[in-house]
């Protein structure tokens, strides 16, 4: 693998994720309670920030999507979207469309596999830069809209150890 | 240049400021400073007395907030959100209550700091000795006496280890003494703290094999895992062909079989220790706990998940083995057995506080010239438990343990230690074949 191919790979991945991030106008098909297909606009999901000013306790629950529903029902475009569910005992409850499996694959398994197959001679500062950008974009995609920490264990520990390793070997 | 150094000499205390403001900031800033010290050749003066005072303040604050319920905010601010609880030193409270139950058989106790009530009988899921001890005690006083004594012992060990280190390494040691696994261990006051403190004299100072064996056996009766030290010691003797007389060889064989029989008895006897498999991703470590988590989200067979993770570690080990700097970590019997015990933990499922055993290796690791090993050691230490996703900035996340992730820095550490061990074995086999 040549170095420009590696950069191109990272750049493509970053672009795909950025597209997903800006995909608010896309629609998805979901099954409603009576089993009919319904067309939902991702933009219809309310943003968490709208509720920021509400003076009440806010709690969120996850709606974990498996890989199959993400791909076939195109729910991948709605990752991280928060929707208001109900109010119980003066507590606002929200539901977040999320996918633990996709998060694990994108944030950790893909970087570690790319790192493992990249020959040591291709290690340079641009690769470090690519890893940081890639990890940041994945974190933004999964955690920004939900108001979670962008700098969590997944993003920092993984990219930090990979970058430190590459930096040291390149030295 | 002088001004720059002066600025750094002040800036280097920044993590300690964060320590009392918000533990998560301490974690990140400490790691940044440690990595900078490893990479750049700092020539600055650090006052040892100030560092000693800071650590003393830290443990005193922990102890005082543990005793006085009004200091609940201080107690919580010293902990990470992953494991923070209002209960004070809850693991040791639980043990003392169980000992009470052995003596009284009935009774009810409210865990200090919480509203949780526990009743008798309450067996301790540790070694068999706890089932035999009948000790009628005031749980609160016993907890406070044990916690105070243990924290004083921790401080004594810190001073003793710190004596042999230069200023910068002493600074790193101070940060590590307040790192997440140690803090978690102190907050819970799990009995592991006593076991790990006992490992220091048992493995490093006691040279008499018979005394060492009986002390390990005693620790094994309190918690099961120290028994593996006997097995790992024997592996060291076999690998290095340590010169011994016939009497010692017979004793080694006896201790090995005694350990095996004990393990067999524990596994067949249905001890609860084999059933406890902690797997909450935000506060556990180990390939098994991560395999359980992957099984949860993908639905693959647990064994397959485990093999996948094991292969990932091997892949990293292959990668790191190129231009590997051998640090002779396994050359001494004591460190050999401790590292193997740590590796054993990493292949199983454990709570993050058990990572504190890594601190015993600190003097060896800090002197090593293998930078990758150092990086993985410190990043692992400061991310176990790590930073979780939500801190109530916008809202509470009901399931903070929902996020499943792999402990990649730990995999690098395991990989480095495995490569180190393979080199150690190779060198010893070459030596004996010559």
pLDDT digits (tens, 9 = 90+) for B44-68: 889 999 999 999 999 999 999 999 9
pTM of the model: 0.90
pLDDT of residue A29: 53
pLDDT of residue A47: 53
For the stretch B180-214, pLDDT in tens is: 999 999 999 999 999 999 999 999 999 888 899 99
pLDDT of residue B393: 47
pLDDT of residue B276: 72
Nearest C-alpha in B relative to A60: B397
Which residues from B are below 8 Å from A115, CB to CB? 319
Which of A85, A108, A153, A159 to mutate to test binding with chain B, by most B CBs within 10 Å of its CB? A153
Indicate whether B379 pLDDT > 60: yes
For the stretch B229-242, pLDDT in tens is: 999 999 999 898 87
CA distance B413 to B377: 6
CA distance B240 to B238: 6
For the stretch B82-115, pLDDT in tens is: 888 899 999 999 999 999 888 887 888 888 988 8
Domain ranges of chain B: 200-270, 277-434
CA distance A124 to A167: 7
Mean pLDDT, chain A, integer: 75
Q: Which long-range contacts (CB under 8 A, 24 or more apart) does B221-224 make?
A: B221/B127, B221/B128, B221/B129, B222/B126, B222/B127, B222/B129, B222/B130, B222/B191, B222/B194, B222/B195, B223/B126, B223/B127, B223/B191, B223/B192, B223/B195, B224/B126, B224/B127, B224/B263, B224/B266, B224/B271, B224/B273
Mean pLDDT, chain B, integer: 89
pLDDT band at A53 (very low <50, low <70, confident <90, very high): low
B109 three-class SS: strand
Which of B24, B25, B394 to mutate to test binding with chain A, by most A CBs within 10 Å of its CB? B394
pLDDT band at A97 (very low <50, low <70, confident <90, very high): confident
Which tokens is B180 given?
């997440």
Domain ranges of chain A: 3-19+103-170, 26-98
| Predicted-complex ipTM score | 0.91
Which residues from B are below 8 Å from A106, CB to CB? none
pLDDT of residue A43: 46
Q: How many CA atoms lie within 13 A of B384 on its CB side?
A: 31
Indicate whether A38 pLDDT > 70: no
Average pLDDT over residues B355-364: 95
Which residues from B are below 8 Å from A161, CB to CB? 375-376, 379, 408-409, 412
For the stretch A124-155, pLDDT in tens is: 888 888 888 888 888 888 877 666 777 888 88
pLDDT of residue A44: 46
């Amino acid at each position: 693998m040549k170095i420009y191919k590696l950069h191109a790979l990272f750049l493509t991945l970053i672009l795909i994720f950025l597209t997903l991030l800006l995909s608010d106008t896309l629609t998805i098909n979901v099954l409603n309670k009576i089993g009919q297909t319904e067309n939902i606009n991702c933009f219809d999901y309310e943003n968490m920030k709208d509720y920021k000013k509400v003076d009440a306790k806010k709690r969120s629950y996850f709606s974990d999507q498996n890989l199959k529903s993400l791909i076939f029902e195109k729910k991948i475009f709605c990752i991280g979207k928060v929707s208001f569910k109900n109010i119980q005992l003066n507590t606002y409850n929200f539901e977040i469309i999320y996918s633990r499996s996709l998060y694990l694959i994108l944030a950790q398994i893909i970087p570690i596999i790319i790192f493992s197959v990249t020959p040591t001679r291709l290690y340079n500062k641009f690769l470090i830069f690519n890893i940081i950008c890639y990890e940041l974009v994945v974190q933004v995609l999964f955690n920004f809209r939900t108001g979670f920490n962008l700098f969590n264990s997944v993003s920092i520990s993984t990219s930090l150890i990979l970058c430190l390793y590459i930096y040291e070997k390149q030295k | 240049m002088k001004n720059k150094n002066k600025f750094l000499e002040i800036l280097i205390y920044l993590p300690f400021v964060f320590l009392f403001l918000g533990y998560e900031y301490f974690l990140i800033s400490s790691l940044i400073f440690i990595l900078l010290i490893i990479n750049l050749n700092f020539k600055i003066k650090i006052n040892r007395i100030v560092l000693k005072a800071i650590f003393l303040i830290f443990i005193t604050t922990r102890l005082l907030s543990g005793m006085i319920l009004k200091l609940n905010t201080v107690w919580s601010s010293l902990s990470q959100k992953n494991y923070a609880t209002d209960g004070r030193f809850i693991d040791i409270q639980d043990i003392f209550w169980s000992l009470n139950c052995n003596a009284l058989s009935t009774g009810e106790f409210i865990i200090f700091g919480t509203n949780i009530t526990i009743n008798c009988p309450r067996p301790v899921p540790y070694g068999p000795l706890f089932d035999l001890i009948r000790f009628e005690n005031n749980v609160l006083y016993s907890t406070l006496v044990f916690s105070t004594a243990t924290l004083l012992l921790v401080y004594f060990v810190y001073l003793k280890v710190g004596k042999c280190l230069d200023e910068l390494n002493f600074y790193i040691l101070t940060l590590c003494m307040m790192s997440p696994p140690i803090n978690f261990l102190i907050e819970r006051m799990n009995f592991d703290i006593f076991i790990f403190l006992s490992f220091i004299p048992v493995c490093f100072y006691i040279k008499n094999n018979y005394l060492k064996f009986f002390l390990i056996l005693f620790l094994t009766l309190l918690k099961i895992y120290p028994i593996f030290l006997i097995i790992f010691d024997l592996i060291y003797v076999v690998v290095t062909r340590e010169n011994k007389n016939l009497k010692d060889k017979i004793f080694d064989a006896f201790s090995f079989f005694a350990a095996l029989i004990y393990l067999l008895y524990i596994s067949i006897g249905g001890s609860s220790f084999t059933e406890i498999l902690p797997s909450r991703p935000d506060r556990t470590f180990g390939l098994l706990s991560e395999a359980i988590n992957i099984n949860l989200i993908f639905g693959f067979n647990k064994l397959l998940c485990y093999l996948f993770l094991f292969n990932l570690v091997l892949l990293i080990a292959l990668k790191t083995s190129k231009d590997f700097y051998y640090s002779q970590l396994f050359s001494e019997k004591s460190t050999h057995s401790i590292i193997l015990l740590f590796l054993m933990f990493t292949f199983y499922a454990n709570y993050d506080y058990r990572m504190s055993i890594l601190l015993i290796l600190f003097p060896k690791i800090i002197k090593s010239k293998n930078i990758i090993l150092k990086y993985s050691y410190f990043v692992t230490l400061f991310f176990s438990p790590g930073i979780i996703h939500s801190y109530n900035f916008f809202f509470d996340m009901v399931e903070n343990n929902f996020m499943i992730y792999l402990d990649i820095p730990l995999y690098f550490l395991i990989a480095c230690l495995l490569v180190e061990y393979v080199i150690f074995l190779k060198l010893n086999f070459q030596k004996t074949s010559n």
